[in-house]
Structure 1
Amino acid sequence: MIEITMISTGEEVLLGDITDTNAAWLSRYLFEQGLTMTRRVTVGDHCERLAKEIESCSLNSDIVIVNGGLGPTSDDLTAVAAAMAANVGLEQSDHWVAEMKAKYEKLNREMPAANLKQAMLPEGAELIDNPVGTACGFAIKLNRSWIFFTPGVPSEFKIMVKDQILPRLQAKYPANQSLHCFRLFTYGLSESSISDAFQHLTLPQGYEIGYRSSLPFIEVKLFAPEQGNTALTLLAEMETLLGDNIVGKQVGLIDNLASMLIQHNKKLAIVEQSTGGFVVNWLNQQPALSEYVVSASVQNTVVDTKTDMDALVKAASDQLQRLSLIPNSQIGLFSGALHDGAVTVGLITDEEKWIQHVQFKRVYSHDDQRWVISTVLLDMLRRYLQGVAIFGHYESLNRLFENHSLKLMNLQKR
């Protein structure tokens, strides 16, 4: 088995000031290429500690990828630490100095003298081009390892891994087989219930199932060494077991909604109370959806403590009826006020109306409540467009009321 280690650098990563998204991305990306990361380490901005960690990893790993610390400031110490670990000096790369100057000339700026530091590499290092920024990468051979040094800026890091480091690894390990990843995005099920549903699945050699939980969704991934009939048959079994709790295949809920709204040419009118604009903001993250929201408003509604569920449901019904009158819209969406840990949400079309009153089973933060309510509402929309049952199975919610009725026909759009 190939031993791959990643060393992340920087006090901001070590102390939790920023999330190490580069490490998460690299682990996932390498796994999809058939290369499994075996160890991850984080070291602060301390030259000697980083040098010792580089040397230690070089004794136990085949590949080491060091991320961060290649900038022009005083706390960027990775090149010095690499030279210390390899017991060599630093030398200036005239080629990279010329590259940096050319980048600044394109911006009609003079390169600051501080950037010369980014061209100082350990003696004998192989330069790795950075087509985006001013921090070049480099590689050295130390003990049993090839060690690759990369900048911490995510856009620069990812392009260097994809275009330069991965091809080197594939050339070095040609027998390694990349994996195809099939993704199913779900809502309403827990990881444990999905695992129980899959317990009788038989995975052929080389196949794996993975999970990624990110409130409010659980992404289920099938990793397969090929895309043939075996993989597709297994994927079909998984889809059957997950049922209509799948909100997207290969794409998430919003991208799936974008495709369906465009396909059906349906436009939306939205009123939000408890969600406070989350629904429309979420939809607008997909640029193609902007023209499919013809009306959106947020209402700050205070509910009297004595208000009962029947009154909340009636208020939702009235709001939906008004939404149905908005010109050029074919679907109305409404999220009501949160009251006693419960909320009323509804959807109306030119012919029908659906309302449900759901209650949280657990305590959520204010933002998480809005994410969950928004997801329930948009899941109703997804279900309507897909032609499946509008009221889904949600393990984290109690459904206290549901109603499906024909829309009142005595009011018409103007």
Structure 2
Amino acid sequence: MKIAMLSTGEEVLHGDIVDTNAAWLSSVFYQHGFGLAKRSTVGDKLSSLIEELLMLSFNNDVVIVNGGLGPTTDDMSAAAAAKAAECKLVLFKQWLEQLEAIYARRGIPMPDSNLKQAMLPETAVILDNPIGTACGFKMLINDALFYFTPGVPSEFKLMAETQILPDLKKHNPEVESAACSRFYTFGLSESGISDKLDQMKLPQGYELGYRSYLPFIEVKLFGPSNQVEQRTKLMQIIHKHLEGNTVSIDAPMVEHIGQLLVDKSLTLSVSEKSSTGYLTYWLNGNENVERQFGHGWVLSGNNQTVTDDGDPLAAAFALAGATREKCGTDLALVTGKIEDGVFSVALSTSTGEWGALYQLSRKYPRDDQVKVISAAALDLLRRYLERKPMFGHYVFLQKMKEMHIPSSVL
């Protein structure tokens, strides 16, 4: 079965808004065994809409159309569908009555423009929208089954989950759900990962995928969701190849760290120079970390609270110890100043302190630089929480120095 999604609207086409609906649908449909074969976008022009609907109908079995069901003149999905199917737009009294009831509950008269939302292709079957004024509908265009949905994310998701997916499953009971296991890696190149994993002979129905986004490369294992034992064995093989640089599995790195902090009942404070506040922002995006978080201090590169006297790693150690003491937390994580691409990270704990001096392998844009530095600091914390070797090897960071200070020396 070939399934496509068409997103409509000038604001989507021109990038004024990010098409989160398409990303969400792709993920959810794949998990249920209905992976998309194509995604496309078209603006609010009737001729363009009709042309795209026809092209999709010739090349796909199922098409999900998102957007263009509102009451304004630029909402043209219903009109385009009628033209493509060579049928008339007619008034669906069932939906008109529902619209009138919605406005009656609000205590205001229904605007005349909303009547347009009850005008649908005569061959359409209504898909209910219990939380909005735009009903969805399904119909055939040529031999392809089309589902038309509203663009508002909450309405679209509810319709997809409660009506479209059940309808697809009802008519395609042989389709098996799929699963995707994710390995989040830091410090490897995509080609390096590929060299390690491409020699794997995967069973039928399984495949590997890669997603590269700074500072991580995500390795994805796709396959049937009902083969738990087979999947577990494959994940063990992948993990063996990538273990030194795998920062989390099936959950983003910060989510994983947050769960570790909660499980171990450890509190954390942070002081930042080279990461300029990004590390604190990143950590506090997770509820578990937020519960265990003490204070986050952001210091300018010229701040002389702790002087380095020519030894930036020693300064990072001193700042980590001072941060943990002043904040009264179990752990303190620090990013030291950066100079000529060289930066330091340090972790202070009750059992000792660890730190390293790294040089960036290339010049990054500022936004990317703080992500790499923050991830290097977080990996030091993760390794401590997981009781793993404290210092990793990263292809884009040259380790200039590493140091461990036992608690007996502090």
Distance 1:137 1:34 in 2: 23
Q: Hey, what's the Cα distance between the residues in 1 that align with 2:396 and 2:325? A: 33
Equivalent residues of 2:295, 2:327 under 8 A apart = no
Q: Secondary structure at the match of 1:325?
A: helix
Asked whether the 8 Å contact 2:316–2:345 carries over to 1, the reply is yes
Aligned to 1:287: 287
What per-residue deviation string (whole Å, max 9, x for no partner) do you get for residues 103-128 of structure 1?
55666665544333222211131111
CA distance in 2, matches of 1:321, 1:107: 60
1:270 equivalent in structure 2: 270
Partner of 2:223: 224
String of CA shifts for 1:241-278, please: whole Å, max 9, x gaps: 11132222211111111110011011011111122221
In the alignment, which residue of structure 2 is the partner of 1:386?
A: 386
What residue number does 1:77 align with? 76
Look up the SS of the partner of 1:337 in the other structure: strand
CA RMSD of aligned residues (A): 2.3
- Give the Cα separation in 2 of the matches to 1:356 and 1:103: 63
How do residues 251-400 of structure 1 correspond to structure 2 at under 5 angstroms?
251-302=251-302, 310-400=310-400
Aligned to 1:239, the other structure's residue is in SS state: helix
Q: Which runs of 5+ in 1 are unaligned?
A: none
TM-score, with structure 1 as normaliser: 0.91
Check whether the contact 1:348–1:407 (CA below 8 A) recurs between aligned residues. Answer: no
Question: Paired residue for 2:10?
Answer: 11
CA apart distance, 1:302: 2.4
Give the structure 1 partner of residue 175 of structure 2: 176
SS in 2 for 1:318: helix
> Which letter maps to 1:37?
L
TM-score w.r.t. length of structure 2: 0.92
**Cα 1:320/1:76, change in 2 over 3 Å:** same
Residue 128 (structure 1) aligns with: 127
CA contact (8 A) 2:85 2:142 kept: no
Q: How does 1:203-214 map to 2 (within 5 A)?
A: 203-214=202-213
Q: Give me the whole-angstrom Cα distance separating, in 2, the residues matched to 1:354 and 1:259.
A: 22
Moved more, 346-355 or 123-132: 123-132
The 3-state SS of whatever aligns with 2:282 is helix
**Cα distance in 2, alignment partners of residues 118 and 366 from structure 1:** 48
Alpha-carbon offset, residue 93 of structure 1: 3.0
> Aligned partners of 1:126, 1:45: CA distance in 2, in Å?
23
Seen in structure 2, the aligned counterparts of structure 1 residues 111 and 299 have a Cα distance that, compared at 3 Å, is farther
Aligned to 2:236: 236
Q: CA deviation at 1:219?
A: 1.8
> What is the aligned partner in structure 1 of residue 166 from structure 2?
167
Asked whether the equivalents of residues 321 and 408 of structure 1 are also in contact (C-alpha less than 8 Å), the reply is no
Distance 1:356 1:100, change over 3 A: farther
Contact 1:321 1:407 in 2 (8 A): no
The Cα offsets for residues 176-201 of structure 1, whole Å up to 9 and x where unpaired, read as: 22212222222222222111111332
5+ residue gaps, structure 2: none
SS in 1 for 2:313: helix
Residues in 1 aligned to 2:131 and 2:288: alpha-carbon distance in whole angstroms: 28
Map Cα deviations across residues 318-354 of structure 1 (whole Å, 9 max, x no partner): 2112123135311011111221112111111012111
CA distance in 2, matches of 1:186, 1:50: 41
Change over 3 Å in CA distance of 1:365–1:154 after alignment to 2: farther
* CA 1:193–1:137: 2 relative to 1, 3 Å: same
Q: Which residue of 2 aligns with 1:30?
A: 29
**In the aligned structure 2, how far is the partner of 1:6 from the partner of 1:364?**
36
1:91 equivalenced with 2:90 (yes/no)? yes
- How many residues of Structure 1 are paired with residues of Structure 2 in the alignment? 407
Query: Match for 1:184: what amino acid?
Result: F
Residue range with higher mean Cα deviation, 17-26 or 381-390: 17-26
Instruction: Provide the residue aligned with 1:60 in structure 2.
Output: 59
Per-residue deviation at 1:206?
Answer: 0.9
Equivalent runs, 1:195-206 vs 2, <5 Å = 195-206=194-205
Aligned counterparts of 2:278 and 2:345: Cα–Cα separation in 1: 14
User: Equivalents in 2 of 1:157, 1:190: separation in Å?
Assistant: 37
User: In 2 relative to 1, CA 108–294 (structure 1 residues): closer, same or farther, beyond 3 Å?
Assistant: farther
Name the CA distance, whole Å, in 2 between partners of 1:21 and 1:336. 36
Matches within 5 A, 1:127-146: 127-146=126-145
CA contact 2:81–2:121 (8 Å) conserved in 1: yes
- SS of residue in 1 equivalent to 2:394: coil
1:407: Cα distance to partner?
4.3
